[in-house]
Structure 1
Amino acid sequence: MNIYDQNRTPLFDALRRYVEDGTISFHVPGHKGGNGIPELRDYIGERVLSIDVNGMEDLDNICNPINVIKESQQLAARAFGADQAYYLVNGTTSGVQAMIMTVCGPGDKIIIPRNAHKSAIGGLILSGASPVYIQPEINYHSGMAMGITPERVKKAFNEHPDAKGILVLNPTYYGVFSDLKQIVEIAHSLGKPVLVDEAHGAPLGFHPELPLSAMEAGADMSAVSTHKLLGSMTQSSLLLVKQGLIDPKKVKGVLNLTQTTSASYVLMVSIELARKQMALKGKELLDKVLELSRWAREELNQVDGLYVFGDDIKGQPGCYDIDPTKIAINVRNLGISGYEAERLLRKKYRIQTELSDLFNTLALITIGDTRERVERLVYSMKEIADECRIKNVLKYSMNLPAPPEMLVSPREAFYSEKKSVLLEEAEGEISAEMIMAYPPGIPLICPGERITREVIDYVKILKKEPCQLQGTEDPEINYIKVLSRHLVLVRSDSDTGDWEGIRTARPAAPSF
């Protein structure tokens, strides 16, 4: 038997045997195959609840897989071009945090793009590491943060030679790629590992027309959201590892700190079946996705007032390549915001896009789409454009807030004494919380950063839109937690930015 035969589904086979054997359960979960919650069973079906079981000898255990889960993960590693693969049932968030915790300990530095997902900030707090932020390039026509350049990566490592590694997005949530292969070469020349948040890059590696995946580019670890684009169930993801600079034993130890001991077999088997499908039919399925995406982009770009970026932005600062399956519809020339476009699509046409910002709404074309579904999106956007009488009028300024200054490490800020203040009166204070629009979950302010008037005003603009802001204890984002005593890390060397100790600091005077 070829253990790497991608037709194999060892976990799914074991679950089916368990059900077909008619095993009588005296173990958790307490619903006992759905008998304990008939209303749910009647709606979602008996079969899915019959495989909602817990770890046992025949079904293996995610914390120390030695049987069918181990075999299933080996098949995933082979399919995705990795040496090791680990199933995740707490989403890619847990994978991003595990990557940071594998590489960094308290006080260590790691290079991170400033448009990283909130999960990366959580990883900094959990590990005690301190970020060296790289500012992504900004495309001011779209208002989007793009990728990071190899030049900025090289500069960051030169200025912080003690950084333990770098985290890269591949791609950004809008489908923009940095030159990951060159970034890997820079980092590896210094013996530094490259960690990749590949939440929106799961199909990479399964079609020759798509950009390189993290594993193809030579990265050391990547966290991949199989649930976002490959068909597995929400919350299911993969953590992929290339051996060399990363010790798989360390990875397993980190995962066992945060991974549940009651991993959902429904989620895990959905990863297995999604892997099988992509390994055997990935190119065929993605051929259709690419065809639909090309058609949608061409049609939308013919509509007055709409713009969807494509190959035209390749080569611009921060954009080495693009993911053509992501349709970022820019509505700035309609005189409406991306949030308003999303709301119109949802309320009038029963279409829900992935995320929106002040100028764009993002639609994802995946293996689950049909021509009919994509046509409905395109024709709905044409109607919205026709009905918008205001053309070529910007509703908002294109100026994004300047990146805030970090004065305290995220972990220090998280555990410091805090007080709650009105956001409107928080200028100059050091934030103890994040504020972000979700999705995509990229923080406008992170714990340990000085709150600026620009950030406050930008949040006020977002609050006027039908956008979901989160991160603070106050659900209305009227108040924000800040440090009571402004403990900041003293920099002993202004060139390297090394931290020597802490002192008490006053908020900076407001600038006008």
Structure 2
Amino acid sequence: MLSQERAPIYEALKEYRAKRIVPFDVPGHKMGRGNPELTEFLGRECMTVDVNSSKPLDNLCHPVSVIKEAEQIAAEAFGAKNAFFIVNGTTAAVQAMALAVAKRGEKIIMPRNVHRSAINALILGGAVPVYVNPGVNKELGIPLGMTVEDVEKAILENPDAKAVFVNNPTYYGVCSDIKKIADLAHAHGMYLLADEAHGTHFYFGDNMPLAGMKAGADFAAVSMHKSGGSLTQSSFLLTADTVNEGYVRQIINLMQTTSGSYLLMSSLDISRRNLALHGREIFAKVQSYAQYMRDEINEIGGYYAFSKELCNGGAFYDFDVTKLSIHTRDIGLAGIEVYDILRDRYGIQIEFGDIGNILAYVSIGDRELYLDRLIGALNDIKRIYSKDKTGMLDHEYINPIVKLSPQDAFYGNKKSVPIEQSSGKISGEFVMCYPPGIPILAPGEQITDEILAYIKYAGDKGCFLTGTQDLEIKNIMILDE
């Protein structure tokens, strides 16, 4: 019988450490003794379990004992058939599920406001995206989810597509009707892939949007290190019984390290146990924290901490109330400007700021004092820094003009030109603000004056632009016609 009170990898590491094994294998720091400065920084207890695969500890690439058992327990906790431990971040999980369902030239239906990892998977494997433009809330300027009607239209126009990809939720906390989309996909012989990088808690909390596995998804990529409490870079890839377990593991092993970190794996093991046993009370507290802050921030005026009142049964089908997404444009400040002021003047680091909104990530690790500190800082910022909003850009999403597949564009013959001279050309690389890492421009898309104006505006406001070979974003690679 599987027990959620077990943590097999954690237990095996404690037993291994107790045996005082003499290490003549990697890593070369030899349980910290070979790198005293690092050991002092991270702690001896941590260094003694930064170990290599061995028979007592199993092997991530081909698990047969403690890792296999830990994966089985995790699968049960999430209501999945299989759970794969991922130590290359949710990026690797997203890429694995895309590569597992579509080969070169085959189609995947997806919203354009996907994380770059999804488009990277298309570059690696050669699948072709069929983009569904997400809905847009014009007041907030943010992209939303996909409507069922738009997904159905894409399916009917592309009956040969292999899968439908859904963000559950978006970075802002917005959810599509994943159950109906899953049913649609399956009715047409397609897989449903759920990017749940920001939806771990959907599986363990009450009054949450529907989790991918419960909605009938065939795959779900879950960032345990975000709301689940594990170490950064640790994630799960969940699959249903519709999926070939052995083939998926082969796909994962194409990309994932052969030197799986036991620090990351044990953090997944322990965090899964914690959520399985205590998730309901943990996330009830997180919801209460977020609602308290939402109410207080909306009382300030000028800001809008939005929630389920915007749900419309369509592209804003549901909302994750643990997300503290705040619209800032009405005080005359871009989200990224508020982000920078909070960090530089108030010592508060939030998750991200874009041109009109900020996101403060709320978790069980917060203290009530911190909640009030952020509320007070936002009050101060409005009083000290607010200004006329005239002339501010009012949207985050621009419909793409797709000319080539991401793979063909990325590997095509390219040349570098000054970015201000690139309008009308086809991009051979990404441009995006990070976080959140959703491309403004992706390989294969036509560069337009509107996109260039957005990139310049975002850079001028202080967004951290990434994706181009030129680290200063002064030049861009375009297809050499």
TM-score range, shorter chain: over 0.9
Task: Trace 1:75-474 onto structure 2 (pairs within 5 A).
Answer: 75-244=73-242, 246-315=243-312, 317-390=314-387, 393-400=389-396, 402-474=398-470
1:296 Cα shift?
0.5
Supply the distance in 1 between the matched residues of 2:365 and 2:419 (Cα, whole angstroms): 42
Segments of 4+ in structure 1 off by > 2 A?
388-391, 399-402
What whole-Å deviation, never above 9, does each CA across 1:12-39 have from its counterpart, x for those lacking one? Answer: 1111111111101000000101111111
Supply the distance in 2 between the matched residues of 1:415 and 1:7 (Cα, whole angstroms): 48
Checking the alignment, whether the CA contact within 8 Å between 1:175 and 1:324 is kept in structure 2 is yes
1:70 Cα shift?
0.2
% of aligned pairs identical?
44
| 316 and 344 in structure 1: CA distance in 2 versus 1, 3 angstrom threshold | farther
Q: TM-score, normalised by structure 2?
A: 0.98
What whole-Å deviation, never above 9, does each CA across 1:333-366 have from its counterpart, x for those lacking one? Answer: 1111111100111011111111111111100111
Supply the distance in 2 between the matched residues of 1:252 and 1:204 (Cα, whole angstroms): 25
Supply the distance in 2 between the matched residues of 1:294 and 1:147 (Cα, whole angstroms): 22
Supply the distance in 2 between the matched residues of 1:395 and 1:199 (Cα, whole angstroms): 34
2:437 is the counterpart of 1:477: no
Checking the alignment, whether the CA contact within 8 Å between 2:289 and 2:371 is kept in structure 1 is yes
Aligned partner of 1:505 in structure 2 is: none
Partner amino acid, structure 2, of 1:118: R
CA RMSD of aligned residues (A): 1.1
Task: Trace 1:29-108 onto structure 2 (pairs within 5 A).
Answer: 29-108=27-106
1:395 Cα shift?
4.6
1:400 Cα shift?
4.9
1:390 Cα shift?
2.3
Aligned partner of 1:489 in structure 2 is: none
Checking the alignment, whether the CA contact within 8 Å between 1:110 and 1:164 is kept in structure 2 is yes
1:253 Cα shift?
1.1
Tell me the SS of whatever aligns to 2:56: helix
Supply the distance in 2 between the matched residues of 1:357 and 1:63 (Cα, whole angstroms): 38
| 316 and 380 in structure 1: CA distance in 2 versus 1, 3 angstrom threshold | farther
| 36 and 145 in structure 1: CA distance in 2 versus 1, 3 angstrom threshold | same
Checking the alignment, whether the CA contact within 8 Å between 1:335 and 1:395 is kept in structure 2 is no
Checking the alignment, whether the CA contact within 8 Å between 1:82 and 1:241 is kept in structure 2 is yes
Supply the distance in 1 between the matched residues of 2:442 and 2:26 (Cα, whole angstroms): 39
Partner amino acid, structure 2, of 1:194: L
Structure 1: give runs of 5+ residues left out of the alignment.
486-512
1:401 Cα shift?
5.8
What whole-Å deviation, never above 9, does each CA across 1:229-264 have from its counterpart, x for those lacking one? Answer: 1110000000000012x2112101101111110010
Aligned partner of 1:494 in structure 2 is: none
1:374 Cα shift?
1.2
1:316 Cα shift?
6.2
What whole-Å deviation, never above 9, does each CA across 1:95-120 have from its counterpart, x for those lacking one? Answer: 00000100000110110100000000
Supply the distance in 2 between the matched residues of 1:483 and 1:320 (Cα, whole angstroms): 38
| 19 and 480 in structure 1: CA distance in 2 versus 1, 3 angstrom threshold | same
1:389 Cα shift?
4.5
Matched residue count? 481
Tell me the SS of whatever aligns to 1:419: strand
1:399 Cα shift?
4.5
Partner amino acid, structure 2, of 1:182: K
What whole-Å deviation, never above 9, does each CA across 1:399-455 have from its counterpart, x for those lacking one? Answer: 456322111111111111111011100011111100000011000111111111111
Structure 2: give runs of 5+ residues left out of the alignment.
none
